[in-house]
């Protein structure tokens, strides 16, 4: 009976969802830990958005926003890979890096202490530092 060769027509990295989902979860956990450690660096996590009363940022918000924006990033990467091919990964990476930096601006201007603003901004950069490399490595177009 002849042996059949493995199907080489399928992409080498079929399971991109596992590392991407793991990266999102890891970024969420890291951000919650950073939020929990806020008092150690003098950040009270109290913000005062314009026109609103002062309020503390709950720890759950760190996880929620990380997961939501991680899923948005994953979705936009999937669209870029599908419609732009190999160039989609480069386009997505540049856009993701620009958005990561720009997402720090509201954290620095929301009306909290300097330590709170710096800590909140750092969570954006930490999430990007965890997710962007994993998303890139797991791309079938890489």
Helices (H) and strands (E) in the chain, counts: 5, 2
Instruction: Decide: helix, strand or coil at residue 56.
Output: strand
Give residue-wise pLDDT tens across range 17-68: 999 999 999 999 999 999 999 999 999 999 988 888 899 999 999 999 999 9
Q: What is the pTM of this model?
A: 0.85
What count of other Cβ atoms lies within 10 Å of the Cβ of residue 126?
A: 17
Bridge partners, residue 47, by sequence: 55
């Amino acid at each position: 009976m002849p042996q059949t060769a493995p199907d080489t027509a399928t992409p080498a990295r079929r399971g991109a969802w596992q590392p991407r989902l793991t990266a999102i979860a890891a970024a969420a956990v890291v951000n919650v830990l950073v939020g929990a450690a806020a008092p150690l660096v003098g950040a009270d996590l109290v913000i005062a958005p314009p026109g609103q009363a002062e309020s503390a940022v709950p720890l759950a918000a760190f996880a929620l926003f990380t997961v939501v924006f991680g899923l948005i990033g994953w979705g936009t990467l999937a669209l870029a890979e599908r419609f732009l091919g190999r160039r989609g990964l480069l386009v997505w990476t540049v856009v993701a890096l620009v958005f990561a930096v720009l997402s720090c601006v509201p954290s620095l201007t929301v009306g909290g202490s300097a330590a709170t603003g710096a800590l909140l901004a750092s969570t954006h950069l930490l999430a990007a530092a965890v997710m962007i490399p994993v998303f890139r490595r797991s791309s079938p177009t890489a």
